[in-house]
Structure 1
Amino acid sequence: MFYGEYEHSIDPKGRLIIPAKFRQALKTHDIKALFLTRGLDGCLFVFSESEWRLAENRFKQIPFTKAEGRKFNRLFFSGATELAVDGLGRLLIPKTLKDFAQIKQDVVIVGVSTRMEIWAKEKWQQFYESSRQSFEEVAERVMLE
């Protein structure tokens, strides 16, 4: 559903224009609400409502008796917010989440199949440069035969 990477800027009011291809995917799949939360590696995750419910159900299975499980769920869910895309195709990113992802103005929006990721441009460049060299090695470790 979401593929590619796109450079955009956040306006002074904290609004981010969703790439046209992603807006089209939202329309095609009749997605009205999006969920935004802290992601991994310093980015923000954006889920459709159906994907959010799948993640929520999966994470609810983490035993609350385990300290790491409690920590993960607290950080993941406490940062979550439900957002509507405005008539101009923009999302309003809360200050707490902008601060978490160290977003000032320039961002890269990355499509990762069932979710979007929003990265501060500098952080995405650092991640990409440090990861691209080992892409084949990582593929070998994570791919199932």
Structure 2
Amino acid sequence: MLIGEYMQTVDAKFRVNIPSKFRTDLGQTFVVAKGINCISIYPKDEWIRFLESLKDMKKLRFFSAGSSECELDTQGRIVVPVSLREYIGLQKEIAVIGAFKHVEIWNRDKWSEYFDDDAYKAENIESIMEQEDFI
């Protein structure tokens, strides 16, 4: 299970540290792909399963072309591919978050904006959990 939030900095060589808690579930080699306002990172077997489920060749080409296999270096980092850096306009300050079955890399300001609405303020958490039948 990939959960948690880590504020990080991209280095001058566009390397991003993958938090150690995520590395076990992701494995040594995984897939980075275009996400919704972010870069998504999937365990290789999850990505293969997703691609195999696509019935439309145009969708298959879109997702295949927009993704790349990555491998951790000895420090637990990846180099973000140029196409994905350009896709989100990768900035120096980022948030690396767990999204249950995958990981996402967000520009930190976009991540903050994403939850900058009253529904996700601390006093409303109980209401959200009740709506989802969690409490």
TM-score by structure 2 length? 0.82
1:18 is the counterpart of 2:24: no
In structure 1, the gaps of 5 or more residues are 65-69
Q: Distance in 1 between matches of 2:113 and 2:89?
A: 13
1:125 is the counterpart of 2:116: no
Q: Distance in 1 between matches of 2:24 and 2:2?
A: 10
In structure 2, the gaps of 5 or more residues are none
1:108 is the counterpart of 2:103: no
Q: Distance in 1 between matches of 2:62 and 2:107?
A: 19
Instruction: Find the partner of 1:56 among 51, 56, 60.
Output: 51
Deviation per CA, 1:95-131: give whole Å up to 9, x if none: 2211211211111011011100110001111112146
Task: Answer yes or no: is the 8 Å Cα contact 1:39–1:76 preserved in 2.
Answer: no
Deviation per CA, 1:68-90: give whole Å up to 9, x if none: xx3x5444322200000011000
* Corresponding residue SS for 1:129: coil
Distance 1:4 1:79, change over 3 A: same
Moved beyond 3 Å, runs of 4+: 72-75, 133-137
Q: Distance in 1 between matches of 2:113 and 2:61?
A: 27
* Corresponding residue SS for 2:4: strand
Task: Answer yes or no: is the 8 Å Cα contact 2:31–2:44 preserved in 1.
Answer: yes
Q: Distance in 2 between matches of 1:75 and 1:120?
A: 23
TM-score by structure 1 length? 0.77
Query: In structure 2, what is the equivalent of residue 93 of structure 1?
Result: 80
Letter in 2 for 1:90: R
* Corresponding residue SS for 1:52: helix
Aligned residues: 129
Instruction: Find the partner of 1:39 among 35, 38, 41.
Output: 35
Question: RMSD value over aligned CA atoms?
Answer: 2.5
Deviation per CA, 1:35-92: give whole Å up to 9, x if none: 001001x10110011111121122x22x34xxxxx3x544432220000001100010
1:5 is the counterpart of 2:8: no
